[in-house]
Amino acid sequence: MSNKYLNNIAVSYGDAPSSEPSDAISTIDGNNGDINAGQKGKYVWLSPKWSSESSNAVSNIRIIIQKENDPNFEDLAKGAGGDYRYLRLEKNESDKIHALRLLRRKDEVNYETIHALGFDGFSTDINKGRGGDYLYLVWKNK
Query: Rounded to whole angstroms, what are the CA distances from 96 to 4, 57, 100, 101, 120?
Result: 10, 6, 11, 15, 11
Counted domains in the chain: 1
For the chain, which ranges sit under pLDDT 70? Answer: 1-2
CATH code of the domain covering residue 67: 2.100.10
Whole-number CA gyration radius for the chain: 15
pLDDT of residue 2: 55
Give the residue from 1, 49, 53, 51 showing the smallest Cα distance to 25: 49
Quote the domain boundaries for residue 50.
5-141
- pLDDT one-digit tens code per residue, 102-142: 999 999 999 999 999 999 999 999 999 998 899 999 999 98
pLDDT of residue 93: 78
Q: List, edge to edge, every strand of the sheet that includes 97-105.
A: 97-105, 134-141, 121-122
3-state SS of the chain?
CCCCEEEEEEEEEECCHHHCCCCCCCEHHHCCCCCCCCCCCCEEEEEEEEECCCCCCCCEEEEEEECCCCCCCCCCCCCCCCCEEEEEEECCCCCCEEEEEEEEECCCCCHHHHHHCCCCEECCCCCCCCCCCEEEEEEEEC
pLDDT of residue 3: 83
